[in-house]
Amino acid sequence: MALTESKSIELGGLIKKFSLPGIDGKIYTQDSWPDARALVIVFMCNHCPYVQAIWRRLIKLQNDYGGRGVQIVGINSNDDTNYPEDSFENMKKYAAERGQNFPYLRDETQEVAKAFGAVCTPDIFVYDKNRMLVYHGRLDDNWKDESAVKSHDLRDAIEAVLAGVPPKSGQFPSMGCSIKWKESLL
């Protein structure tokens, strides 16, 4: 497991288009949540210990903010041939075991991850109601130990979006496992 940090992406760009299947059998696009005041896209997977450590925090965020117009969406772009734990069937299993309350989508071609510039799991992008990128960074300052968290970066970014102000500067990169690219896409 090689530690990878998300790359710096200029804020202010519009959300990238996508059309992906969810574990619930529906097809989702960037326009599937027209009333969401904030759309949080998290590139994630099943096997990464960094994602596993924050999965329940993401569920809690959706619980806390879903009623206020925030939608979290998980996207798994990992190669499931060499990493079968990240298969679509296992996505369903992992989400069910955790009681996941937000859509979990499969990016089989990995084109969506490439379009967004995602490089690690988790890699977190927050879009405002106009679907402009306003935050790209970490969930918080301690992926491993939730009780030791001092800086709630994603939560603060969501609060800023809901207040209609830009998130504070000083966005820190997310860190985790590298996205497992298919050999033909390297």
Residue-number span of the structural domain to which 85 is assigned: 3-185
Task: Give the tens place of pLDDT for each residue, 108-159.
Answer: 999 999 999 999 999 999 999 999 999 999 999 998 899 999 999 999 999 9
CATH classification at residue 43:
3.40.30.10
Instruction: Give the number of other Cβ atoms within 10 Å of residue 46's Cβ.
Output: 23
As a whole number of angstroms, the distance between CA 49 and CA 162 comes to 30
- How many folded domains does the chain comprise? 1
Q: pLDDT tens across 86-116, in order?
A: 999 999 999 999 999 999 999 999 999 999 9
Q: Which residues are bridge partners to 43 per DSSP? A: 75, 123
